[in-house]
Every structure is written in C-alpha cells, then in structure tokens.
C-alpha cells in the first residue's frame, strides 16, 4: 500500500497510491499488484473478505496473465451492474489487445463481482481493488491514441514490481491529459455516465470506513463485427 507515483494535473502536484493518497481530494491514483510468477494462469488466492458469496469461491489471484482468448475481429462490451445502476462500456481490443484480454478474462471469471468503487472524486471513479497482491500479475502499459477524456475506461498501473497494468480500472470524469502514455485506455462508456456521476464520493484516506458503492457484477458481451 505504498506510494505509487507523482504527476501534475492542471498544475497541481498530486501523490498517487493505492489505499493512501497525498495532495488534494482531487488526487488521482493507480493500483499495486504483484508481477507474474509463471506462464500459466493459476489461481492461488482466496476470495476477498466482503465480496458477495457465490456457489464457487471467486479467484482473485493468478500466477500469470491469461493467454489470448479474445478475437480481435469481434466487438466486446462490458456491463457493470452497480447499486446505483448499470454502466455499459465498449472495449477496444485492437487498440489494447493484452489489456482488454486480461479485463475480459477476469470479468468472465467473476473477479470484479462484489468489489467496490473504492475511490471516487471529481476527476475519476476507481474500482476493482481486491488487495495489493491481486490479480497476481501485471501487463506492460500499452500506449494508444485513445485519450483520457470523460467516459474513458482505463486500466490502472502499479508502481510496485515492474509498474505494469493491474486489474483495477477507473472511469474518467474530467480530462486527464497528463495521464496520456502512463496507463492504458481500453474502452469508453457508451451508456450510464449518469450512473458514474451518482457514485458516492469517497476518499478512503480521510474516511476509510465510509460506504462504497458495490459492483454487483461485470459481464462481457461478445459480438461479430459489422
């Protein structure tokens, strides 16, 4: 849960970390995770306390990133069901294939179900924190032409280990030009930005026991292109 990174947004220096943040309440932050240990995905952890009980325990730690299982010629949409409503995201597999593949893999394995939007501020809403060691692997940051503009759906990076992308994501609420090239935009919100705007503001550094809006489920819709 250590310091993650420092950068400037609109001239304001803001500390970035998982679980703790320095600077103002508008601080932006990324996640921490542990680099992969082997070449084959293998669940090694236990469900995060507080997650919604399921018939099969949710795996939130893997030994390595998953092999490619998406079809780059198809379209992918993620439906994020929350306590405040539904957010629908179009994913961009051609622009960020490895990052989209990881997100789709985790969503299909119910990784995000029962987690929360743990940090919500004026610039972004961040969710998917299952602990500092999750998901057990990171991915290289994939720099694309996609911008950190309102509605952008972004995988957060880690400052531990290799500083790669983790499972945590954030939805941009106000432009974040200084984040270009620092993490990876993998999609955009196509429905439900009003739901993002209704998420409860939350700063776990100042009010760690404040309620957080729960992610009920994340489901993936695969479609043929065209």
Residue 205 domain-assigned (yes or no): yes
Kindly state whether residue 66 falls inside one of the protein's structural domains: no
**Residue 95 forms part of a structural domain:** yes
pLDDT tens track of the chain, all 226 residues? 332 332 333 333 333 333 333 333 333 444 433 223 323 333 333 233 344 444 567 899 999 999 999 999 999 999 999 999 999 999 999 999 999 999 999 999 999 999 999 999 999 999 998 887 789 999 999 999 999 999 999 999 886 667 899 999 999 999 999 999 999 999 999 999 999 999 999 998 899 999 999 999 999 999 998 6
Distances (CA, A) of 93 to 33, 76, 194, 211, 223: 23, 8, 25, 34, 12
Q: Is residue 26 part of a domain?
A: yes
Q: Domain residues for 161?
A: 3-35+76-224
21 in any annotated domain: yes
The residue written with tokens 């309440």 in the block is: 25
pLDDT at 44: 33
Would you call 155 exposed, middle or buried from its count of C-beta atoms within 10 A (0-12, 13-18, 19+)? buried
Please name every residue paired with 81 in a beta bridge, in sequence order, or none if there are none: 86, 217
Is residue 189 included in any domain, yes or no?
yes
pLDDT, tens digit, for every residue of 166-203? Answer: 999 999 999 999 999 999 999 999 999 999 999 999 99
* Residue 71 forms part of a structural domain: no
Supply the DSSP string of 46-91, one letter for each residue: -PPTTSPP-SSPPP--BSSPPPP-S-TTEEEEEEEEETTEEEEEEE
Could you tell me the maximum CA-CA distance found in the chain, to the nearest angstrom?
A: 49
Q: Is 48 helix (H, G, I), strand (E, B) or coil?
A: coil
Is there a contact between 37 and 209 (Cβ–Cβ < 8 Å)? no
Query: Is residue 98 in a domain?
Result: yes
Q: How many domains does the chain have?
A: 1
Burial label, 103 (beta-carbon count in 10 A; 0-12, 13-18, 19+)? buried
Give the CATH number, domain containing residue 83. Answer: 2.40.100.10
């Amino acid at each position: 849960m250590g310091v993650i990174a420092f950068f400037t947004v609109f001239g304001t220096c803001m500390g970035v970390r998982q679980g703790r943040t320095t600077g103002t309440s508008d601080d932006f932050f990324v996640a921490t995770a542990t680099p992969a240990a082997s070449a084959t995905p293998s669940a090694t952890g236990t469900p995060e306390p507080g997650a919604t009980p399921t018939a099969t325990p949710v795996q939130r730690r893997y030994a390595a990133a998953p092999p490619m299982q998406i079809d780059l010629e198809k379209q992918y949409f993620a439906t994020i069901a929350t306590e405040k409503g539904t957010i629908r995201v179009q994913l961009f597999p051609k622009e960020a294939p490895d990052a989209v593949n990881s997100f789709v893999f985790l969503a299909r394995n119910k990784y995000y179900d029962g987690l929360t939007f743990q940090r919500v501020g004026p610039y972004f809403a961040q969710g998917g924190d299952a602990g500092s060691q999750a998901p057990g692997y990171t991915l290289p940051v994939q720099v694309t032409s996609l911008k950190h503009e309102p509605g952008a759906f972004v995988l957060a990076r880690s400052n531990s280990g290799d500083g790669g992308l983790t499972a945590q994501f954030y939805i941009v609420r106000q432009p974040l030009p200084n984040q270009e090239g620092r993490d990876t935009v993998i999609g955009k919100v196509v429905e439900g930005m009003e739901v993002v705007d209704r998420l409860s503001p939350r700063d776990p550094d100042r009010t760690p026991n404040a309620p957080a809006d729960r992610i009920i489920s994340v489901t993936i819709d695969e479609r043929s292109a065209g």
